[in-house]
Amino acid sequence: MAKAIIGQPFTFTALFLDASGNPIVPADPSIYVFYFVNGVKQVLVAAGTPMTAVAGDTGRYAYTATIPSSLSESVVVYGVMECTDPSTSLTVTTEQEVDLFRSGGGGTSCGGLRVSFVKPGAC
């Protein structure tokens, strides 16, 4: 599961492949982003919103959305990405789940992450 910071942009990505596992270049890659609050679906990005091809990476597409500041860490955001395989006309679908967290802040530039080093043999 991917991680995103509440109130910040997050980039959804998909690598679209054919049945043989080869990247495809579809004409219609799109995304639909939503989440649930108290069991009610909330749409963040409307179904059918076009995705952008990632330069130099055949078959990979991306879309950046900002995670609303009003969401809590208990919410999971879902990005459903799909396209049509040009050789079969079948729909290819993938989903990316995004777990949310708040930036730790504390005046640091690393989002509240802390690193500690353990000296070898210091157990």
3-state class (DSSP) for residue 58: coil
Cα–Cα distance for residue pair 50/39, rounded to 1 Å: 27
pLDDT tens digits along 79-102: 999 999 999 999 999 999 999 999
Give pairs for 15-18: CB < 8 Å, separation 24+: 15/57, 15/59, 15/60, 16/59, 16/60, 16/61, 16/83, 16/85, 16/92, 16/94, 17/59, 17/92, 18/85, 18/87, 18/88, 18/92
Helices (H) and strands (E) in the chain, counts: 0, 8
Predicted confidence (pLDDT) at residue 120 exceeds the cutoff of 80: no
pLDDT tens digit sequence for 16-49: 998 899 999 998 999 999 999 999 999 999 999 9
Does the predicted TM-score (pTM) go above 0.85? no
Task: Note down the domain range covering 86.
Answer: 2-101
CATH of the domain at 65: 2.60.40.10
Q: Is residue 75 part of a domain?
A: yes
Domain count, the chain: 1
Q: Is residue 91 part of a domain?
A: yes
| Cβ-Cβ contacts under 8 Å for 69 (sequence gap 6 or more) | 6, 7
**Assigned domain for 82 exists:** yes
Strand partners, 30: 50, 82
